[in-house]
Amino acid sequence: MLDNFPFYLSLIIAIVLLIMLAKKIKVAYPVLLVLAGLAICFIPGIPAMHIDPELIFIIFLPPLLYEAAWAISWKELWRWRRIIGSFAFVVVFLSAMSVAFVANYYIPGFSLALGFLLGGIVSPPDAVSAGAILKFVKVPKRMSSILEGESLLNDASSLIIFRFALIAVATGQFVWYEAALSFSWMVIGGIAIGLLVGWVFMKAHKYLPTDANIDIALSIVTPYVMYIAAEETHSSGVLAVVSGGLLLANKRHLFLSSTSRLRGINFWESLCFILNGLVFLLIGLALPEIIAGLGDVSLSSAIGYGALITAVLVVGRILSAYGAVIVTLIMRNFITVADSRNPGYKVPFVLGWTGMRGVVSLAAALSIPVQLSDGTAFPQRNLILFITFIVILLTLLVQGLTLPYLIKRLITPNAANELSEDKVYNDIRKQLAEQAVLHLKTKYSEQLNTYPVLQQMAKKWEHGNSLVNDEVMANECKVVYLDILNQQRIWLHDKNEEEQMLDEEIIRKHLQHLDLEEERLRFI
């Protein structure tokens, strides 16, 4: 381990340089990192890389899911819950089933159980890849919300399918009612454990004498406790982290200080930046070990099988996207849907094309046991590994490189909508200033007449400026200003809950500005 430590440091440096290059040439960095990993593994003298699946599931997956849960809007997640649920569960199951039948028919030695095992592995799209690509192009808010929401849940559904298929291959039998009970517990138990652990940590943050550093340390531990607690009770660790993360994210203003919130954002962005870079580089570095395990299957045949499964997944997702649109257009006549407009043929096609696979698929394939319980070799394990690698590689290269072009050609940015968002942002800024003046005159009229600084602040707010200058303040003025900032936070949260169509991202920007104001108050 120590002998290879300089190599691991050089990998981090390579990740930083490659991501800077990806931004320069406007290519999604997961694509560049996987190709770099492929190139590095052919350099003579490079240490052999063995990826332990537990390393991915335990070390990488919980913090990445947790950070994603904090970043997503619960309002948008609930608004698009039907299509998100269909993509995260129904489409994943249909993808796994399609792969199972195709693999059983075209790949020698593949039973339906093995096909479902492969389908469960390769069915979930990777959120990081799509997110990295969407940073280069503008897409409708509804599309980004659907992709973000789907990414939080599809890993859970695919890993559930994977577990059941693994049991079926190992035991040779599948009892549907036992599987149904187990599936119910994995979903319900995972969500319940995540909420319970999240509630415990929320109380710990609130009532223990913590500071920003301690809060960040606790936030590092939180997703791991959620994940491990759920897995130990045979429920879904992914759903535990997602549900617990959503709870804490939506209650952050109740138990975290402004310092902890601001520092936490910076810390988690840096941590996930490194973790995401490492996992995609590791995908490329895993190639030699995967090829070495092919055995009697020729490399050309294995590549052909991988390309076939990739085509099944891509076509299946596109058809599912159109199916979801058709169902929505029909159901809008009977129920209230999130968006009753006809999206046309372009949006579903682009949504279907955003199906790049990633590290969870590779980790699931690597976690297949080498031997069955009776000591015999696990059937087709090496071929499943190679097919998974090809699916990841092809989807990243083909879809990842073409998706920005398709979005630019097929999705027209709504300039009017952008202007509307700017107007909403400025309107809320003015209303915040009005709330500040009202609160100041109502509750602190005596201090307002006593301190010129407060009078200057009131004049600025009356002119629509929600920020104040760096005037020197007496301690009593600082107390007044802190109370006004808290009142503005309460008003923002109430407005966010009352107006369901209001973009929560706008509210979060204002909340972050208030946190920055509170931090700035410490130095004036």
The fraction of the chain above a pLDDT of 70, given in percent, is 88
Q: Rounded to an integer, what distance in angstroms lies between the CA atom of residue 143 and that of residue 73?
A: 13
Written as one letter, the residue type at 173 is: Q
Would you state the pLDDT for residue 416?
47
- Is residue 495 within 8 A of residue 428, CB to CB? The reply is yes
In this model, does residue 257 exceed pLDDT 80? yes
Interatomic CA distance for residues 520 and 94, integer angstroms: 53
Burial code (b: 16+ CB inside 10 Å, e: under 16) for 230-269 equals bbebebbbbbbbbbbbbbbbbebbebbbbbbbbbbeebbe
345 burial via Cβ count (<10 Å: 0-12, 13-18, 19+) = exposed
Q: Is the pLDDT of residue 466 over 60?
A: no
| Phi, psi of 211, deg, nearest 5 | -125, -170
Query: Which tops the pLDDT comparison, 340 or 206?
Result: 206
Burial of 56 (0-12, 13-18, 19+ CB in 10 A): buried
Q: What is the pLDDT of residues 478-514, one digit of tens each?
A: 888 888 889 999 999 988 888 877 888 888 898 999 8
Residues found in the chain: 524
Domain-by-domain residue ranges, the chain?
5-413, 416-521
Tell me the one-letter amino acid at 35.
L
**Of 299, 244, 297, nearest to 110 (Cα)?**
297
Q: How many CB atoms lie within 10 A of CB 187?
A: 17
> Quick one: pLDDT band at residue 137, thresholds 50, 70, 90?
low
Structure tokens, 13: 């440096």
| Closest-CA residue to 264 (of 207, 208, 223) | 223
Nearest CA to 106 among 291, 243, 304, 265? 304
CA angle at 429 for the pair 425 and 431, rounded to the nearest 5°: 115
Long-range contact set of residues 328-337: C-beta below 8 Å, sequence gap at least 24:
328/82, 328/83, 337/82
Q: Does residue 1 surpass a pLDDT of 60?
A: no
Q: Could you tell me the two tokens for 448?
A: 């307002």
Which range is most confident: 110-119, 191-200, 328-337? Answer: 191-200
Q: Residues 218-252: pLDDT tens digits? A: 999 999 999 999 999 988 888 999 999 999 999 99
Tokens for 313, please give them. Answer: 């997944």
Say how far apart CA 382 and CA 365 lie, in whole Å. 9
User: 5-413 domain in CATH 1.20.1530.20?
Assistant: yes
Q: What is the pLDDT of residues 29-83, one digit of tens each?
A: 888 888 888 888 777 777 766 666 677 778 888 998 898 889 888 888 888 888 8
Q: How far apart are CA 398 and CA 289, in angstroms?
A: 24
Out of 47-51, 108-112, 213-217, pick the least confident.
47-51
| Model pLDDT, residue 203 | 94
Question: Out of 265-279, 286-300, 348-362, which region has the weakest mean confidence (pLDDT)?
Answer: 286-300
Q: What is the pLDDT of residue 341?
A: 62
Q: How far apart are CA 483 and CA 96, in angstroms?
A: 54
